[in-house]
Every structure is written in C-alpha cells, then in structure tokens.
Amino acid sequence: MKEYLDTLKHILVHGEVKKNRTGVDTTGVFGYMTRMNLGKGFPATTTKKLAWKSVVSELLWFLEGSGDERRLAELRFGKDRSELMNKKTIWTQNAEALYWKERGFQEHDGDLGRVYGVQWRRWRTATGAQINYDTDPPSAEIVWKETDQIKNIVEKIKHDPSDRRIILNAWNPGELDQMALPPCHLLAHFNVRSGKVDCLLYQRSCDTFLGVPFNIASYALLTHMIAHVTGLEAGDFIHTFGDLHIYENHLEQVDEQLTRVPMKLPKLWLNPSVTNIDDFTMDDIKLVGYESHAAIKGDMAV
C-alpha cells in the first residue's frame, strides 16, 4: 500500500488548512491520483487493521440497492433486525443525524434516502405524469422509469467490452436533498483490455485517514466481483481524488501510521460457483493471508 502512504505524505507536505461543514478543520489538497495493479495483491491497508467485514457488508448492501441502514446492520452482523437494537454501522450516525431527520424524507428509522445503492440499482427518470381524477381537484403523480446501472455494466462488459460508456454514477443532482449524505465516491468508469477489467474512480471528498482505505478496498472488491462474473480478471484500480484531506483530529494517528512498516498484501478469494453479481453473500468473499498492524481509532466528522 505504498500508494496510500504516499498520499498521506503528499497531504502533510503540500496541504493547506481549510474549514468545512463539520466544524473540524482539515489539511488538504485538491486533485491527486493513484494507480494500483490488483493482480499484485488485494489493496487492504496493512499499516492499520482494515474493517474487512464492514467493507464487504456495505458493498453487498449497495448491490442490493438498499438505503436502509438497519438492513446494512443485518448484513454486517448476520442477525435479524429485532436483535440489532444496540448494534451500530458506519452509516448509523448519518441515519440518526438531526439535519437529515429534519428534512422530512426519512420514511422509517434507519432510512437514509436515495443514497449509493439506490442510485446504482434504481436510478429514476421521470417519463411523464398520471392524472388521478378521483381527487378534487385532480392530482398528478409522476411516472418513473428506473435504470439498473450494475446490470447494465455487467451486460456491456460481456457483450460490448470496447464501450467507453461503462459508467456507474451515484451523483444525481435532482435527488441530492433526498440523501442523508451526498455521494463522496460518485463515479466509477470501467475499462476492458487484455482480458482484464480496470476501474477508474472519481471521489469528490476524501477523508484520507478513515475513509480512503475503506473506499480503496470497496472498489477493488467491486472490480474483482465484476471481473469474476464476466469471466475476466481484475486489472488496475485508478483512484482520482478531488478534495483530499486529513481532519485535524486525525493528524497524530497519521503520524503513527507512517512509522509502521507495510506488510505483504493479501489475496482475494471469491466463490467460483457464483456467476451472478446479485448472488454473492458474506461467505463467498474472503481475504486470504491478511496480516496487519493494530487498528488506529479516529472519530468520524459528520
């Protein structure tokens, strides 16, 4: 994970202090890129422990098209929601945030609105309106067409791999106010060459200590899964950063992490019997040979 550690160093050398909506200042830069060859090992952070089960459960949650934080808890802990009253996920703070509850879009506890997975699997386009004449005065209801971007990506890679439009987009400007958190990792562009699938991710806002290792692992895993179900191999993961920053309450943790010597990267195992991207479960995805230094805790700015 030299690429990630070099990213941290780049921010510390070239970053400027900036205020933001959370109230916790950041040191950051604008615009940066890394490239990782996924064939050389899975890019799980080894200078601190990666929350692997959280990575896998969140990605499976996205792929389900869910915006229900309690469904994420079910995937993460393998229990029915009635048993999960006190179990928290990486999305719990967002689901419970006052700013989100006050907007009035939350239909039930844990509802995060039209976040990542909803956009991935059920992107909406208005196609017209249906008039209801049973009301006085008559009312109109929007008619929606839904687009399954993940299904389209898999089909394009299988049948038209030279297509330059194999894109996964989570940034829906018309629905940003219906999301508990607008997407940070918002656009992934897939490319097929020489029997391999590459992924180029654009991330607008990048919490480099807490979030970026998680994002790297998530999109590396997604790339492997897409390659797996299309009969290809995972190629390169290219990560393009917009606002790349370290929160001021993470600076000591970053200094500690940079003193640690990286370990050998693990390998990813995907169940060979799974051929449909919707059929993966937690048991079908494993890291083999993962060793790391101890976890380093840091508070998330919301």
Tell me: the pLDDT tens digits for 43-102?
A: 999 999 999 999 999 999 999 999 999 999 999 999 988 888 889 999 999 999 999 999
Place of tokens 């993962």: 290
Collapse the DSSP code of 300 into the 3-class scheme (helix H, G, I; strand E, B; otherwise coil) and give the result. coil
Tell me: the pLDDT tens digits for 195-234?
A: 999 999 999 999 999 999 999 999 999 999 999 999 999 9
Pick the residue with more confidence: 85 or 149?
Answer: 149
Residue 302 pLDDT exceeds 80 = no
Question: Structural domains in the chain?
Answer: 2-67+113-288 (3.30.572.10)
Tell me: the pLDDT tens digits for 14-54?
A: 999 999 988 889 999 999 999 999 999 999 999 999 999 99
Q: Percent of the chain having pLDDT more than 90?
A: 87
For the annotated catalytic residues, the residue numbers are: 184
Residue 301 pLDDT exceeds 80 = no
Sign of CA dihedral 114, 116, 118, 119: positive
pLDDT on residue 22? 87
At residue 137's C-alpha, the angle toward residues 136 and 141, to 5°, is 105
Going from the C-alpha of 292 to that of each of 46, 50, 163, the distances in angstroms are 4, 8, 39
Q: Which residues share a beta bridge with 45? A: none
Report the candidate in 116, 143, 117 with the shortest Cα–Cα distance to residue 65: 117
